[in-house]
Structure 1
Amino acid sequence: MTEPTPHLTTHVLDAAAGTPAVAVEIVLTGPGGEIARGLTDADGRLGLGPERLDDGDHTLTFATGAYFEGRGVEAFYPRVDVTFTVRAAPDGSVRHHHVPILLSPFAYSTYRGS
């Protein structure tokens, strides 16, 4: 039996090193508080949460300072918070959410992935 795909996935790439960011702690929170937490895998990926997130604003908090500190790299941002809105489609269907970040010690970017 396979586990269901979580409603939300993320991918962290260390753009300065050109590699996946391994073992970055990430916390997912929603309107009611913490939903899930975990560490990125060897490919910098992590699935979080249940099969369906409630509609509303959610935040992914990436522990970027601890990640860079563990690599002996000075960094400017101790954490990155990415807040996004989950809404069911007009037909009531639920879309998968993928929220990746590209990370360096002094910058980051994010986008809505697929």
Structure 2
Amino acid sequence: MGKLTTHVLDTAQGKPGGGILVELFRLNGNERTRLVSTTTNSDGRCNAPLLEGEAFKTGRYELVFQAGAYFAASGIALPDPAFVDEVVLRFGIADAEAHYHVPLLVSPWSYSTYRGS
């Protein structure tokens, strides 16, 4: 069975993004259902897959990372409002047997992602 994982790298400080609130939603048309709410550990990873087994299904999903709160708590001087606050990543899962890894590389001024393994 497939699974969904993520991790966060703080590219501004060159370290894992630990303590970031991450929420996962399933999208169905205009409906948005929260499936998971977790916080990254000191290595910037979640302690368990966000989805796996029978809960891991094809479809459209959204990850929301509370990056602005993380940077504010880390003592970095930010403008008000912060340029990067909630990072919202929408993606699709087409193969329920595959491992989808969706990392976030983030700074107070930019972010990027990719499908990892």
- Normalising by the smaller structure, the TM-score range is 0.7 to 0.9
| Identity rate, percent | 40
Alignment coverage as a number of residue pairs = 106
- Please name the residue that 2:37 is paired with: 37
Match of 1:13 in 2: 9
Residue 50 of structure 1 deviates from its aligned partner by: 3.5
Alignment of 1:56-71 (within 5 A): 56-71=59-74
Mapped pair 1:86 → 2:86: no
Q: 2-side partners of 1:79 and 1:113: how far apart?
A: 21
Match of 2:108 among 94, 98, 105: 105
Cα distance in 2, alignment partners of residues 57 and 7 from structure 1: 14
Contact 2:2 2:98 in 1 (8 A): no
d(CA) in 1 for partners of 2:105 and 2:92?
Answer: 20
Question: After alignment, is 11-20 or 48-57 more displaced?
Answer: 48-57
TM-score after normalising by structure 1: 0.85
1:6 and 1:48 in contact (8 A); partners too: no
Distance 2:40 2:2 in 1: 14
Unaligned runs of 5+ residues in structure 2 are: none
Unaligned stretches of 5+ in structure 1?
none
**Aligned-residue offset at 1:54:** 1.9
Q: Shift of the alpha carbon at 1:6?
A: 7.6
Name 2:58's counterpart in structure 1: 55
**Structure 2 Cα separation of the partners of residues 42 and 107 of structure 1:** 21
Structure of greater relative contact order (alpha carbons < 8 Å, 6+ residues apart): 2
Query: How far did residue 49 of structure 1 move?
Result: 2.5
